[in-house]
Chains A and B, each alone.
Chain A
Amino acid sequence: MTDSVITEELNALLNVDFPPEVYEIEKGMLRRFAEAIDDPNPRWLKEAPPTFAAALVPRQLLHKLFSADIPLKRLLNGTSELEYLKPIKAGDVISVTAKLTRLRQVAGAQGPTLFMFTEVVYTNQRGETVIKGKNTYIKY
């Protein structure tokens, strides 16, 4: 029987809604992101490329998840999923809300592995949901 690495500190974060984090989408931000992913499509100077949501980080939740005092110190990104409802365009103001929806510990070959499941909603200045995201993070 492996001890649980899921502490009260982590459990207390489940389904907690953090205040929205707001990002103003400037043209320069889109250009820098498109350059960083090396995608020369001119469309991305005005509109966000598919994985731009990665730059709209729900800092409060991720900071708490990644700095939680648990014996597993190494971190990996597990899965990312993005559902696109509306485009994000230069000039938009995007509010990001995120929550931890599930914690799951499994016995891995090198010891316990913790999966942390999150859901993120990206909303524009008109109140329209533009992207729904699901991410899994792995500590091992």
Chain B
Amino acid sequence: MVYYEDIIESAEISALVKYPTTMQLVKYAGASGDFYQVHYDKDFAVASGLPGVIVHGWLALAFLGQMVTDWLGDGGTLLKLNGSYRGINKVNEDIICNGKITKKYVEDGRNLVRLEIWAENPQGEKTVTGFAVVALPSREKPP
């Protein structure tokens, strides 16, 4: 359990590394209804000017969401998740998810924490950048 009192600004949370395969992208296409061919049809992706099949932006954001909810555990609540898609994550490559605490503050009686979150490809390029806002329990007032 993460408590508000334990939060240190500028600390990083545990990174999460994912390795999406073509099969996972097909599963994601089915589960989300996003059947844009750049996510499973290599010929189509190349004809669209891409280096090959690319990961759904929403799927990369799902990985960032998992990183945040894994860190939160059962005590905290995710209030906001934001991601801008700035680069390409290719299929069959690591996606490295990172998060860093940028601010802790109390608002409307709630203990809030804002994190900068980002995903990188193996070349170290930031492919998704965004933020999350979470509410955390306090040691004085556990959930």
Contacts and interface: CB of A to CB of B under 8 A. Distances in A.
Interface of A: 29, 32-33, 35-39, 41, 43, 49-51, 54-55, 57, 74-84
A50 B63 CA distance: 10
A36 B26 CA distance: 8
Interface string B29-52: 011111010000000000011000
A50 B24 CA distance: 18
Contacts of A39: 62, 66
A51 B84 CA distance: 14
A35 B31 contact: yes
A94 to B, nearest CB: 14
A74 B62 contact: no
Contacts of B85: 76-79
Contact of A51 (B24, B61, B74): B61
A51 B58 contact: yes
A32 B68 CA distance: 21
A33 B70 contact: no
A7 B30 CA distance: 32
A57 B56 CA distance: 15
